[in-house]
């Protein structure tokens, strides 16, 4: 995600790179989500039948499977806030509004299943299996549910210009160290953590709407109601946006990737499409091949600057100016590499994908001088804004907690999260860049990408890849930033 806080904008191997295309082949035998979705525009609901072919990819035998119900974060009375107090006005232009997910039934191989809604905030559905599920075995779990959308400019909800349909469905919790990871929604950052999976989605909606989504459209038909079938392979999540206002521009990049731009208020749409191509090309050259055949950049009503999902990024129609708009596009597209293909626990280690994405965005602008943003200026601006943040926090609270290695719910305020994750993350990778030099830095990016494709990176893996890529032990530098020991001035 790209956060824009306080009206100011903070911008901010030893492995050989084989170049072998086989290395980018999708993982096989993944969990499959098959969904039949009806969007009802009158009551702003989704009626969904979801057949999940869940694969136990852990080393443990499972008796239950747990799924996140992120849609319940939008319900009335939810403990976890979906936006911070200072963003409520942008998020709810028509006053507070609520939505939720109502589970109608759950079945296992066509037989009714036992389940419970649990978690700290009705955020988890736990399905009891009829028999133990051994490693590498799979089970078919079918959910029938209704999602009611809130009138909110957020990941899930309807606004004046578009309907954002993200995080609406039960998605399997990651399984680690003998348990499911069930972290609660948080208004800071992107409180998501999921594995790659395959998707077959059929969605019906009034034909006045245009759909942008993760994956590839395989068929589209109907008169008054359009029914669209989409498939997506080996993606970390599945998101869609519907709008009656979308105009669309597309081009094919390198005969492999269709670049789609959906917008309704952009006088510079040709220029924007060129920027999308330029960014994709830059990140492919300096990080690695984008393994999917489509990416969509979508203008929409959204509370923050932007938000990333696999193959689709949401860009806010409320950013201050075109320069900021382009900055958000580059940032969100970079997340296709950091977050989407290379995953990380975004709840516990937001700095991994946000810090790296923000610095790679700076690197993009440094190498594309026509945008008049140099790395030197962007880093100076990030440094200055961080110093100001630390000073203000010290004067108000006596001290500023400047550690980065914290889970989302351990940041006391949104600015504390934003400055320590995005701004300090940028400064940390900038220091590494300065120390090891551009050549070794790019080598490290490539090594980190290729060795974590479709996987989950941890802080240790990040530090190892940059250390191996440069032939230096960078652990002390990383740790001094992560633990808040380095003094930025
Ligand atoms: Zn981001």
The residue ranges of every structural domain in the chain are 1-27+339-489, 31-195, 247-334
| Per-residue pLDDT at 14 | 33
Ramachandran angles phi, psi of 170, nearest 5°: -65, 120
Please state whether beta strands 100-108 and 62-68 pair in parallel, antiparallel, or not at all (unpaired). unpaired
Q: What is the pLDDT of residues 27-74, one digit of tens each?
A: 999 999 999 999 999 999 999 999 999 999 999 999 999 999 999 999
The alpha carbon of 422 and the centre of ligand 1 are apart by a number of angstroms equal to 8
| Per-residue pLDDT at 297 | 98
| Per-residue pLDDT at 21 | 43
The alpha carbon of 30 and the centre of ligand 1 are apart by a number of angstroms equal to 26
| Per-residue pLDDT at 23 | 61
The alpha carbon of 262 and the centre of ligand 1 are apart by a number of angstroms equal to 20
| Per-residue pLDDT at 43 | 97
The alpha carbon of 66 and the centre of ligand 1 are apart by a number of angstroms equal to 27
The alpha carbon of 133 and the centre of ligand 1 are apart by a number of angstroms equal to 36
The alpha carbon of 49 and the centre of ligand 1 are apart by a number of angstroms equal to 31
Residue ranges with CB less than 5 Å from ion ligand 1:
1, 354
Under-50 pLDDT residues of the chain? 5-21
The alpha carbon of 487 and the centre of ligand 1 are apart by a number of angstroms equal to 24
The alpha carbon of 306 and the centre of ligand 1 are apart by a number of angstroms equal to 7
The alpha carbon of 140 and the centre of ligand 1 are apart by a number of angstroms equal to 34
The alpha carbon of 25 and the centre of ligand 1 are apart by a number of angstroms equal to 26
Distance CA 365, CA 371 (A): 7
The alpha carbon of 324 and the centre of ligand 1 are apart by a number of angstroms equal to 14
Cβ-contact 153, 87 below 8 angstroms: no
The alpha carbon of 41 and the centre of ligand 1 are apart by a number of angstroms equal to 30
Note whether 1-27+339-489 and 247-334 share their fold: no
Domain 247-334 top-level CATH class: alpha beta
The alpha carbon of 353 and the centre of ligand 1 are apart by a number of angstroms equal to 7
| Per-residue pLDDT at 216 | 98
**What CATH number does the domain located at 31-195 have?**
2.60.40
| Per-residue pLDDT at 2 | 76
The alpha carbon of 2 and the centre of ligand 1 are apart by a number of angstroms equal to 4
**What CATH number does the domain located at 1-27+339-489 have?**
1.10.390.10
């Amino acid at each position: 995600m790209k956060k824009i806080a306080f009206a100011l904008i903070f911008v901010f191997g030893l492995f050989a790179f084989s170049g072998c295309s086989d290395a980018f082949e999708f993982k096989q035998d993944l969990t499959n989500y098959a969904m039949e979705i009806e969007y009802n525009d009158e009551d702003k609901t989704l009626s969904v039948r979801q057949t999940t072919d869940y694969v136990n990819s852990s080393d443990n035998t499972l008796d239950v499977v747990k799924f996140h119900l992120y849609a319940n974060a939008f319900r009335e009375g939810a403990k976890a806030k979906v936006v911070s107090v200072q963003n409520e006005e942008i998020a709810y232009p028509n006053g507070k509004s609520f939505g939720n997910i109502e589970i109608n039934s759950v079945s296992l191989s066509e037989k009714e299943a036992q389940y419970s809604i649990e978690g700290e905030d009705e955020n988890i559905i736990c399905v009891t299996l009829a028999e133990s599920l051994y490693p590498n075995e799979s089970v078919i779990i079918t959910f029938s549910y209704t999602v009611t959308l809130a009138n909110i400019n957020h990941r899930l909800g309807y606004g004046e210009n578009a309907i954002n349909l993200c995080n609406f469905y039960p998605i399997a919790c990651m399984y680690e160290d003998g348990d499911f990871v069930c972290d609660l929604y948080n208004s800071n950052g992107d409180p998501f953590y999921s594995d790659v999976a395959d998707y077959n989605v059929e969605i019906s909606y009034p034909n006045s709407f245009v759909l942008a989504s993760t994956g590839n459209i395989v068929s589209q038909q109907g008169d008054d109601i359009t029914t669209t079938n989409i498939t997506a392979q080996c993606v970390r999540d599945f998101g869609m946006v519907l709008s009656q206002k979308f105009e669309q521009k597309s081009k094919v990049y390198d005969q492999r990737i269709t670049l789609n731009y959906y917008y309704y208020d952009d006088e510079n749409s040709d220029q924007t499409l060129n920027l999308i191509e330029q960014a994709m090309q830059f990140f492919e050259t300096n990080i690695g091949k984008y393994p999917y055949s489509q990416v969509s950049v979508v203008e929409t009503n959204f509370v923050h600057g932007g938000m990333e999902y696999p193959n689709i990024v949401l860009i806010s129609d409320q950013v201050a100016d075109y320069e900021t708009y382009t900055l958000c596009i580059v940032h969100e597209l970079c997340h296709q590499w950091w977050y989407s293909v290379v995953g990380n626990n975004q709840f516990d280690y937001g700095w991994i994908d946000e810090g790296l994405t923000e610095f790679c965005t700076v690197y993009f602008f440094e190498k594309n001088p026509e945008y008049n943003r140099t790395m030197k200026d962007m880093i100076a601006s990030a440094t200055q804004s961080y110093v100001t943040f630390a000073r203000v926090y010290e004067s108000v609270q006596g001290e500023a907690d400047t550690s980065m290695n914290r889970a989302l719910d351990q940041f006391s305020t949104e600015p504390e999260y934003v400055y320590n994750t995005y701004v300090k993350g940028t400064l940390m990778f900038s220091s590494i860049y300065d120390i090891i030099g551009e050549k070794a830095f790019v080598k490290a990016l490539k090594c980190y990408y290729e060795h974590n494709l479709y996987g989950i990176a941890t802080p240790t893996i990040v530090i190892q890849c940059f250390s191996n890529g440069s032939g230096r032990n960078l652990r002390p530098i990383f740790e001094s930033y992560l633990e808040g020991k380095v003094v930025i001035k």
